[in-house]
């Protein structure tokens, strides 16, 4: 049997990569071991890649809500976004007694073009808008996470990305009674009359293993 070559791109690479846990690429290797007739080229790209024009079979994209597109989108998983910082930051800075105090602190801002310098949190149906400012804004989620771990400031981060750091106590959640919007991870692929078997197999694998990504 001939080998089916499978091209996959992860868009918004730092955030998608964190949610997809490429630090544990064994998940992809497990898929390839299960289906040895399929190979893959894995591209990590921050661009909003045109997967049709560039010849990719599949993209993973992270968004609260996807814009209109000719692509087929399958929601794989949702991730909570939490307010957090390191214990070191709490020791070295004024005490946080209420949610609004966050606006007075140094905030580390994940800043893709779609997000503003405001954080939205809700409790019992009431939304609180926090204007935020700080000495670091980046469109790379790893940069923000590493800065938070160093005790530089407070940030909003998908809980799945910092699962281990929360467990170890390197980061702590602030005001846990407040919740934020959920981020969704989508598999997107061209709208074809016949979707290649390799694509449906990979999407089914992602769906089945989604719950383990944050572990």
Name the more confident of 15 and 23.
Answer: 15
Looking at the domain that runs over 79-182, which CATH code has it been given? Answer: 3.40.190.290
- According to the model, what pLDDT value does residue 144 have? 93
- According to the model, what pLDDT value does residue 37 have? 76
Residue-wise pLDDT tens digits, 64-119: 777 777 888 888 888 888 999 999 999 999 999 999 999 999 999 986 554 568 89
Do the beta carbons of residue 155 and residue 85 sit within 8 Å?
Answer: yes
Domain ranges of the chain: 4-78+183-212, 79-182
Check pLDDT > 80 for residue 49. Answer: no
CATH code 3.30.460.10 for 4-78+183-212: no
Q: How far apart are CA 89 and CA 170, in angstroms?
A: 11
Per DSSP, what are the bridge partners of residue 5? 39
Check pLDDT > 70 for residue 35. Answer: yes
Q: How does residue 10 score in pLDDT terms, banded at 50, 70 and 90?
A: very low
Residue-wise pLDDT tens digits, 160-204: 889 899 999 999 999 999 988 777 888 888 877 778 888 888 888
Residue-wise pLDDT tens digits, 123-140: 988 889 999 999 998 878
Name the more confident of 6 and 86.
Answer: 86
- According to the model, what pLDDT value does residue 100 have? 95
Q: How far apart are CA 105 and CA 102, in angstroms?
A: 5
Q: How does residue 212 score in pLDDT terms, banded at 50, 70 and 90?
A: low
- According to the model, what pLDDT value does residue 114 have? 46
Could you give the angle at which helices 13-20 and 141-149 cross, rounded to 10 degrees?
70
- According to the model, what pLDDT value does residue 53 have? 84
136: left (phi over 0), alpha (psi -120 to 50) or beta: beta
Q: How far apart are CA 16 and CA 61, in angstroms?
A: 6
Check pLDDT > 90 for residue 41. Answer: no
Same topology, domains 4-78+183-212 and 79-182? Answer is yes
Do the beta carbons of residue 161 and residue 141 sit within 8 Å?
Answer: yes
């Amino acid at each position: 049997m001939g080998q089916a070559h499978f091209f996959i791109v992860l868009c918004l690479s730092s955030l998608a990569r964190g949610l997809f846990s490429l630090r544990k690429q064994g998940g992809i290797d497990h898929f390839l071991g299960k289906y040895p007739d399929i190979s893959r080229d894995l591209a990590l790209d921050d661009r909003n890649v045109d997967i049709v024009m560039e010849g990719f079979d599949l993209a993973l994209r992270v968004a609260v809500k996807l814009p209109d597109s000719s692509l087929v989108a399958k929601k794989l998983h949702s991730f909570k976004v939490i307010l957090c910082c390191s214990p070191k930051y709490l020791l070295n800075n004024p005490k946080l007694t209420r949610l609004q105090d966050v606006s007075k602190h140094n905030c580390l801002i994940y800043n893709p073009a779609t997000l503003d310098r405001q954080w939205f949190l809700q409790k019992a149906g009431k939304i609180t808008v926090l204007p935020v400012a700080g000495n670091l804004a980046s469109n790379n989620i790893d940069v923000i996470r590493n800065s938070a771990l160093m005790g530089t400031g407070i940030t909003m981060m998908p809980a799945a990305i910092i699962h281990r750091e929360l467990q170890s106590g390197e980061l702590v959640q602030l005001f846990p009674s407040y919740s934020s919007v959920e981020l969704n991870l989508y598999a997107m692929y061209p709208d074809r009359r016949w979707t290649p078997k390799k694509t449906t197999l990979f999407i089914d694998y992602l769906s089945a293993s989604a719950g383990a990504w944050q572990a």
